[in-house]
Amino acid sequence: MISERPVEVEDRTVAGNWEGDLIIGLNSSAIGTLVERTTRFTLLLHLPRMQGYGHGPRAHNGPALAGRGAEAVRNAIAATITALPEQLRRTLTWDRGKELAQHAQLTIDTGLRIFFADPHSPWQRGTNENTNGLLRQYFPKGTDLARWGRDELDAVAAVLNNRPRKTLGWKTPAEALNELLLSQ
């Protein structure tokens, strides 16, 4: 539970604490979002549809072929987070969605401690919710999010990470992250 998170996560004194979520589009498409709490640095998770999506009836208790099931989300987070320096892999706070049902394996794979927000409490992941609002400028509601590829997601993340933020003293998230890494 979120109440068990270390104090340093709440007061944003240490980097490596992430908030995550999915933005959902048409036809069960999704893009995963990870936002570092201290610097607001954003990573986007490509969640392509799996082979077999839309071909025949869905198998009962079969894999989530839309690309946003627990296994696909775990794999995407693990691949993205393990590419980062170890000091940036401390915690992840997520909502209570079933897409993070494999959180125990994600902890084993990445070393991230996973925390879940209280039910119906999106403000407990406010950094991520605000970022998701910014992302809707690029990925409008009512569109099929599967049409954007990895390169396009990286380009949008680069734009957000190079956008000055008042909360960072008009530094960009990329500058704030770089300063933090250089000081450690």
Q: How confident is the model at residue 120 (pLDDT cuts 50, 70, 90)?
A: confident
Domain count, the chain: 1
Condensed to tens digits (0 to 9), the pLDDT of residues 42-62 reads 999 999 866 554 445 555 554
Range of the domain at 24: 2-183
Q: C-alpha distances in angstroms, 16 versus 19, 148, 151?
A: 10, 27, 24
CATH number of the domain residue 20 falls in: 3.30.420.10
The model's pLDDT over 138-181, given as tens digits with 9 standing for 90+, comes to: 999 999 999 999 999 999 999 999 999 999 999 999 999 999 88
* Cα–Cα distance, 27 to 145 (Å, whole number): 9
**Residues 1-28 pLDDT 10s:** 787 888 888 888 889 999 999 999 998 8
Dmax over Cα atoms in the chain, in whole Å?
Answer: 54
DSSP sequence for 2-51: GGGS-HHHHTT-SS-EEEEEEEE-GGG-EEEEEEETTT--EEEEE-PPPT
What is the arithmetic mean of pLDDT over 121-133?
90
pLDDT of residue 96: 83
> Mean pLDDT score of the chain, rounded to an integer?
88
**Parallel, antiparallel, or unpaired for β 113-116 and 91-94?**
parallel
- pTM of the model as a whole: 0.88
